Amino acid sequence: MERISRLVGSTLARHLLVAALGMVVVVMALTAVSDFRRFQLAEMACLAIAAGGLTVLTGLNGQLSLGHGALMAVGTYTTALLLPDRDASTPLVLVVLISVCTATLVGALVGVAAARLHGPYLAGATLALAVAVPGLALHFRETLGGEQGIPVVAPPPPGWAEDATYFLTASDLTPRGWIAFLAWSTLILSFLLLANLSHSRVGRRWRAVRDDPVAAELAGIVVGRSRVSAFMVSAAAAGAAGSMLALVVRLAAPGSFTLALSLTLIAAVVLGGLGSLTGALLGAALLTFLPQFVTQIGRDAGLDDVRAAELAPLVYGLVMVLVILLAPGGLFGVIRGALTRRRARRALAARSVEASTSTRPDPDSPPDEQLTDPSGDHRTATTTEGAPR
């Protein structure tokens, strides 16, 4: 009995269970839907992997990056260069790993610079990255293919995967189905690692640096190193996302990595709830499927195609404004915030009944404000500056 409770209490066992369940759901969903939906789902997985990395950086460590699209581009181009044609001999796993490593390396460089910046300066610096990296592709036209980009030849599904699919579903495994499966497997693996980190000593130290760098330093944390490590982890996720994106869209071109992509990632993270992986997944799903859904509704309501297409950005913006107004903690933050607040109120009530001593409120802020959802405030992006108080 105790063994079971200990197993449930173990972070790894809990996360592995969720990952396994997720894998089952993914396989079932991918076999049930059309090939076009598989493509969309694969795109969503790429967005979610990068958003997961970004939510760790912004939500847990308090660093804002407007340049994660650029880090994805690093992953995509690395993959594209390693898979030049059908005879490319590098195993796919190795290609993905090398892409992740390259992005991590770039992330480390950016992270070292970022660790010295905060708030709007950090946003500006990473913004420059988002603008500059696609420009590199145009500059090194010979190797990076310029505006046209580099075509990517995705390797065909291996024999065992085809056999397994036929055995399970009595239908053939399409190349798109295979890539979608790969993208979702990568998503689950990277979320497993990110969740482990978030619940570990490493995650706790990241949060400490986010909430109060000075106090974190006094606790023995080297703040700069902690920030760089968060940036590297986040960049690794972006690299994996980029690598998968190369396989999904079969092209590495600068057009895929506009500033809009970086902003979409931020939007996914904010919509879902900063620092929450579930939130990142929700946000990515919303941003992948909402535009199409809205366009369809527009068409059904009798709008012509152009007008229907114009509806999407409108609704997109509306949703964003509504979430920020009504649920600043994001969709997932709403649930968590309510639970936290109730728990705080109950414990304090129990305490005041028990002790019935008068407690004076914090002179700095009214008590009501203090009880608001911790994930619901906006200070994440701006780190408190380092004067000891």
The tally of CA atoms less than 13 A away on the side-chain side of residue 169 is 16
Cβ–Cβ < 8 Å for 309, 326:
no
Stretch that binds other proteins, among 78-86, 133-141, 151-159, 367-375 (CB under 8 A): 367-375
Q: Which two tokens stand for residue 37?
A: 């939906």
DSSP notation for 127-191: HHHHHHHHHHHHHTHHHH-GGG-EE--PPPPPHHHHHHHHHHHSSPPPHHHHHHHHHHHHHHHHH
Report if residue 360 touches other proteins, rule: CB under 8 A: yes
Q: What are phi and psi of 252, to 5 degrees?
A: -115, 105
Q: Which two tokens stand for residue 51?
A: 């958003």
Closest CB to other proteins among residues 335, 371: 371
Q: Which residues pair with 150 in a beta bridge?
A: 252
Please give the distance of CA 249 from its chain centroid, rounded to a whole number. Answer: 19
The phi, psi pair for 200, rounded to 5°, reads -110, -175
Which residue among 167, 201, 302, 385 contacts other proteins (CB under 8 A)? 201
CB of 297 to other proteins, least distance (A): 38
Verify binding: residue 200, other proteins, rule CB under 8 A.
yes
Cα three-residue angle 141-143-247, rounded to 5 degrees = 110
Among 55, 126, 288, 340, binds other proteins (CB under 8 A): 340
Q: x/- string (CB under 8 A) for other proteins, residues 209-248? A: -xxx-xxxxxxxxxx-----x-------------------
How many residues in the shown chain lie near other proteins by CB under 8 A? 53
Q: Counting contacts by CB under 8 A, is residue 12 touching other proteins?
A: yes
CB of 10 vs other proteins, minimal distance in Å: 6
Mark the segment that binds other proteins (CB under 8 A) among 4-12, 98-106, 164-172, 280-288.
4-12
Q: Are 56 and 197 in contact (CB under 8 A)?
A: yes
Residue 350 is a binding residue for other proteins (CB under 8 A) = yes
359 binding other proteins? (CB under 8 A):
yes
Least distance CB 359 / other proteins (angstroms): 4
Closest to other proteins by CB, 307 or 351: 351
Nearer to other proteins, 84 or 361 (CB): 361
DSSP sequence for 17-28: HHHHHHHHHHHH
CB of 389 to other proteins, least distance (A): 3
Give the C-alpha separation, 47 to 95, whole Å: 19
Under the rule (CB under 8 A), what is the footprint of other proteins? Answer: 10-12, 15, 193, 196-197, 199-205, 207-208, 210-212, 214-223, 229, 340-341, 343-344, 347-348, 350-351, 357-363, 367, 370-371, 374-375, 377, 388-389
